[in-house]
Each structure stands twice: as structure tokens, then as C-alpha cells.
Amino acid sequence: MPRIILALAVSTLLITGCAPPENLRQMGDRNRVLQGKLQTASGEIDRLKTQEVVLRKDMAELNRVINVLDSERNSRTQESGYLRGQARKFMQGQIDTFKEFLLDSNLLDYVGGELIERANIEDKPLLIVDLANRIPKSGTLTGVTGYFAKPTAFSVKVMREVEGKLVVIWQSKLIKTKQTGVRRLNFPVVVGVEKGDVIGYFFPKNVGVTFDTGSGDTRYLSNDVRLGSGLSISSLNGSSKKRAYSIGAYGLLN
């Protein structure tokens, strides 16, 4: 009897071991799912590789077009720069010719004293401020002219009245002349002026233009006034002497 029971138990174990368990079926299902996903991923990878090749070709074409456009732009920039330079040169030539014509024909506006030989001259540094001949209209000044009795050097100043003071808003570099008589001297650049501005002249060594008394209103100081600085009219000397100097500025006024 014990032998029969033992044989039955061994038979039962053998039959149970040969039957497929549930977990094996699940593993098989998962394997099939993973294989499907792998195939899908491989197809996606192939598609992306094909797309990468196309994109690389497109990028190469874009780079080629960009290089062409850069070359064309540089060419246009050089050409337009040359044309602008030529146009500026032409216009500057026309302006210079027009200015010379106006100057030679005495058609430029003049602001200053009459250009005549006068009786008096001062051989010392002096700042003279012409209050009798203020700028009558806005415009531009292009130079200075005077009747010079001796070689001299001076700078021209444009003064504007601000809160009761004459403020130097522009001044020229030192202008030198060795010739006597009426001389016209151009500024390197034109200067804009407004109605009511006052013109001053500083002579650091000697005043090369002559003056008369009683017919003008040119005040004076022995010291210079720097650019951006101001002075009150009452601080100027010569209110009672009424000096008139043979100097003034010319330009185009509106």
C-alpha cells in the first residue's frame, strides 16, 4: 500500500511539471508586445534617418543661398558707398562754387561795421563785442571779413543772451591774416545762428582792425571769455565811447 501511494504522488508531480504555467503565457505575451514596439521603433529610426538626410541637404542649400546673399549685399554696400561718396563730393563742389559766387558777387549777408579805414588802432590783447550789429535773422555764418591795418590773429565768437548774460555758444579756431586791407576769411565749417545773437572777436596779441568812436556800440574787455562761459553786458567797457570797428561776419540768413 505505501508503494502504491508513493507511485501515485510521483505521477502527479510529473504531470504537473509538464503542463505550461500561467506566468509563461504572460511572458510570451509581453515578448510579442516588445517585439512589436521594437519593429515600430526601428521604422521610426529609419524614417528619422531619411528625414535627417533631407534636412542636411536643405541646410546646405540654405547656407549656399546665404553666402550668395552676403556677397550680393557686400557688393551693393560697396557700390552704394561709392555712389554716396561721389554724390557728396559733387554736392560739396556745387556748394563751394555757389558760395564763391555769392562771395565774389557780394551777395552774402553781412553783419558788422563798415569795412573802411578808421583813425584808431590798439596794439594789445582785446575782446571786442559788437552790440550795435546783432544777428537780424536766423541762418548760418560762413566766414569773417574786415579791414586789416596790420597782420593779426583772432578768434570769432557767437554769443547768445541767456538770462541776462551773453554766453559763448561757438567759437572758431585762431584765424591768422598777414595781408592788410579788406580780407575775407572762410570758416572751416559753417555755424548756425539765431536772431539776436551777438558776434565777438578776441585778439590775443594785437587788434589788427581800426576803429572810430561815436558811431557804434562795440564794448570790450582785456580778457578772453571761454566757450560755454557768460558775461553780463554791464561788465563790458566802452559803453560811452561808442566804438565802431571795421570787422564783421558774413553768411546766409533767412
Query: To the nearest whole number, what is the mean pLDDT of the chain?
Result: 85
Antiparallel, parallel or unpaired: β 109-112 and 247-253: antiparallel
Mean pLDDT calculated for residue range 132-142: 96
pLDDT score of 194: 97
pLDDT tens for each residue of 210-242: 999 999 999 999 999 999 999 999 999 999 999
Grid coordinates representing 89 are: 563730393
The string of pLDDT tens digits covering residues 140-193 is 999 999 999 999 999 999 999 999 899 999 999 999 999 999 999 999 889 999
**pLDDT band, very low/low/confident/very high, at 98 (cuts 50, 70, 90):** low
Q: Kindly tell me if the per-residue pLDDT of 17 is higher than 60.
A: no
Count of residues making up the chain: 254
List the chain domain ranges. 1-107, 110-253
Amino acid 110: pLDDT: 95
- Whether the per-residue pLDDT at 51 is higher than 60: the answer is yes
Grid coordinates in use for 57? 541637404
In the predicted model, is pLDDT for residue 109 greater than 80? yes
**The whole model's pTM is what?**
0.62
Residue 59 has pLDDT above 90, yes or no: no
What's the pLDDT band for 10 if we cut at 50, 70, 90? very low
**Residue 19's pLDDT is what?**
47
Among 193, 209, 201, residue whose Cα is nearest residue 160: 193
Better-scored residue on pLDDT, 177 or 61: 177
